[in-house]
């Protein structure tokens, strides 16, 4: 994957490509972040006459809509409208309702707890000028990457994930999309994914199944803050892992039917990573622990303990993050097999802190 990230794109990219776009901003109780998000969108360096913004609200119970209306009054130059659900039904359903009101060929989606650099649209959208590309996504940068050991570990994970996603994009496609920045050709998908709860990655899979490529654009970066405590990190990552496991099980079913259009060179390693690896690692950990307890002075036990000590001494962050992420995947897999699905939003945990 590292070698692939250095290879050239096999794309025809028109740097002057500036189509009309609709920016969908999904909201659910976002009164602490929505004004900052809309101000951020207003400040992007892209022709304002080509931008339409739709706030897709999922039945917020706070002052989100009130603040959006206030922003509309103060900024009449920005074409902004609200599409609102009466009940809390889920992000994907809300986005699909808003999709019916979109007038542009390019649909951009961005969560409220993320901020864009001003040049993101000019840098990223030209990749959609290639007729084979149906969707693009960006790379999230944590602004508090060194706040705690939790955020430092997450930074290590994000770097590895970025390498994998970019390598997959160079081969053909990545379906690991991020909600901070996603852009889709309207002709490449019918609706946002409601099956897995992963509106971004699930929709990227539909784009691929419809014969297009879905790629990570390295120039498309956006900023966010990651929770600095382990409890909040586990809550977010287990939820996201549950959704991605559902997505990859869907891919497995398509593979068994010979209908998956994502190359096997991409799909099989991801299936192993998300479904097989956590089971194997958990089984090995339990077995090894039992052997060490029963035979603490055996050659095997001593070798394992020495190996762990060396790894902790020279690569503690990576070792801890590998164990933590496999634990997250194992718990998420169990929750998925037990029927737990995350298809609607939970009440956010003080998102204002994530942008402070």
- pLDDT for residue 23: 97
The dihedral through the CA atoms of 259, 179, 30, 35 has a sign that is negative
**Is residue 186 assigned to a domain?**
yes
Residue 182's closest CA among 64, 95, 250, 243? 95
In this prediction, residues 1-18 reach a mean pLDDT of 93
- pLDDT for residue 253: 95
- At 284, list the tokens: 């090995």
The residues that bridge with 221 in the sheet, in sequence order, are: 139
Residues making up the chain, counted from first to last: 356
CATH number for the domain that contains residue 150 = 3.90.550.10
User: Which residue range forms the structural domain that includes residue 39?
Assistant: 2-256
**Is residue 217 assigned to a domain?**
yes
In this prediction, residues 88-115 reach a mean pLDDT of 94
- Domain tally, the chain: 1
**Is residue 309 assigned to a domain?**
no
Mean pLDDT over the full length of the chain: 91
- pLDDT for residue 344: 58
Percentage above 90 pLDDT, the chain: 76
By the 8 A CB rule, do 245 and 336 touch?
yes
User: Which pLDDT tens digit goes with each residue over 279-305?
Assistant: 998 899 899 999 999 999 999 999 999
By the 8 A CB rule, do 348 and 30 touch?
yes
325's CB contacts (< 8 A; 6+ apart) are 157, 237
**Is residue 209 assigned to a domain?**
yes
- At 309, list the tokens: 């000590």
| 300 membership: H or E segment, kind and range | helix 299-337
By the 8 A CB rule, do 41 and 23 touch?
yes
DSSP state of 193: -
Report field, pTM of the whole predicted structure over 0.85: yes
Residue 201's closest CA among 235, 248, 166? 248
**Is residue 354 assigned to a domain?**
no
**Is residue 190 assigned to a domain?**
yes
**Is residue 93 assigned to a domain?**
yes
**Is residue 330 assigned to a domain?**
no
- pLDDT for residue 318: 80
For the ranges 36-45, 62-71, 158-167, 318-327, the lowest mean pLDDT is seen at 318-327
**Strands (DSSP E) found in 51-167:** 51-57, 79-84, 106-109, 133-142
Mapping DSSP to helix (H, G, I), strand (E, B) and coil, where does residue 330 land? helix
According to the per-residue pLDDT averaged within each range, which of 75-89, 118-132, 229-243, 271-285 is highest? 118-132
């Amino acid at each position: 994957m590292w070698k692939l990230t250095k290879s050239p794109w096999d794309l025809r990219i028109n740097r002057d490509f500036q189509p009309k776009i609709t920016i969908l901003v999904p909201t659910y109780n976002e009164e602490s972040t929505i004004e900052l998000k809309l101000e951020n969108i207003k400040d992007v360096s892209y022709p304002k006459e080509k931008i339409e913004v739709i706030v897709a609200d999922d039945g917020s119970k706070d002052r989100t809509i009130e603040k959006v209306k206030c922003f509309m009054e103060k900024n009449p130059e920005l074409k902004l409208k609200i599409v609102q659900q009466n009940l809390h039904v889920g992000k994907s359903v809300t986005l699909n309702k808003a999709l019916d009101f979109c007038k542009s060929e390019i649909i951009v989606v961005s969560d409220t707890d993320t901020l864009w650099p001003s040049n993101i649209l000019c840098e990223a959208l030209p990749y959609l000028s290639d007729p084979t590309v149906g969707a693009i996504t960006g790379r999230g940068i944590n602004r508090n990457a060194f706040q705690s050991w939790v955020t430092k570990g997450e930074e290590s994970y994000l770097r590895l994930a970025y390498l994998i996603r970019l390598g997959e994009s160079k081969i053909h496609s990545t379906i690991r999309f991020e909600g901070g920045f996603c852009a889709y050709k309207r002709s490449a998908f019918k609706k946002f994914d409601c099956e897995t709860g992963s509106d971004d990655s699930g929709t990227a899979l539909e784009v691929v199944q419809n014969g297009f490529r879905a790629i990570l654009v390295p120039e498309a970066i956006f900023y966010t803050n990651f929770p600095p405590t382990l409890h909040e990190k586990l809550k977010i990552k287990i939820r996201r892992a549950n959704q991605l496991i559902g997505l990859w099980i869907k891919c497995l079913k398509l593979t068994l039917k010979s209908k998956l259009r994502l190359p096997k060179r991409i799909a099989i390693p991801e299936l192993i990573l998300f479904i097989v690896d956590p089971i194997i690692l958990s089984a090995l950990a339990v077995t090894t622990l039992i052997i060490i307890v029963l035979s603490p002075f055996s050659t095997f036990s001593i070798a394992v303990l020495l190996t762990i000590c060396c790894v902790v001494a020279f690569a503690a962050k990576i070792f801890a993050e590998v164990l933590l992420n496999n634990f997250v995947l194992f718990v998420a897999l169990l929750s998925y097999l037990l029927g737990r699905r995350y298809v609607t939003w939970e009440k956010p945990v003080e998102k204002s802190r994530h942008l402070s």
